[in-house]
């Protein structure tokens, strides 16, 4: 049986919490970021969910081909613009959990 060689993908879960009354505005910025990010070279998965329990909480579920793809993503104009627009709308600093799939 042939062994496959894989470069480990980069998996992230990012959580943002909007200030009270700012979820809709933050959601618009998040949607624009997600649309732009899904078109990038190196993106495997880029989903964003809004919590059903707390409309102020958003979670990004991202998978990038490798660290180089993630680094390139972080330098794009749409990420920089998102930061400028979204950071003032956050109730607290965002969190990032980097991890790996258990079956990798």
Residue 2 lies in a domain: no
Q: Select the more confidently predicted residue: 104 or 96.
A: 96
Question: Higher model confidence: residue 22 or residue 103?
Answer: 22
**Residue 7 within a domain:** no
* Neighbour order of strands in the sheet with 10-17: 43-50, 57-64, 10-17, 95-99
Residue 31 lies in a domain: yes
The whole-number pLDDT of residue 102 equals 79
Mean pLDDT of 27-39: 98
Is the pLDDT reported for residue 39 higher than 60? yes
Residue 4 pLDDT = 53
Residue 82 placed within a domain: yes
pTM of the predicted structure, to 2 decimals? 0.89
pLDDT of residue 6: 59
Q: Which of 43, 22, 14, 37 is nearest to 85 (CA)?
A: 22
Could you tell me if residue 1 is inside a domain? Answer: no
The CATH number for 88's domain is: 3.30.70.100
State the pLDDT confidence band at 8, using cuts at 50, 70 and 90: confident
Cβ atoms within 10 Å of 16's Cβ, excluding its own:
22
Reported as a pLDDT band with limits 50, 70 and 90, residue 104 is: low
Q: Which domain holds residue 54?
A: 14-99
């Amino acid at each position: 049986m042939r062994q496959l060689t894989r470069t480990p993908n980069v998996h992230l879960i990012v959580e943002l919490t909007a200030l009270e009354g700012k979820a809709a505005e933050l959601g618009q910025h998040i949607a624009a970021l997600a649309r732009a990010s899904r078109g990038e070279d190196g993106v495997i998965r880029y989903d964003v969910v809004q919590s059903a329990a707390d409309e102020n909480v958003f979670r990004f579920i991202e998978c990038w081909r490798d660290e180089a793809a993630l680094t390139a993503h972080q330098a794009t104009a749409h990420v920089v613009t998102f930061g400028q627009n979204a950071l003032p709308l956050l109730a607290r600093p965002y969190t990032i959990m980097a991890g790996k799939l258990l079956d990798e």
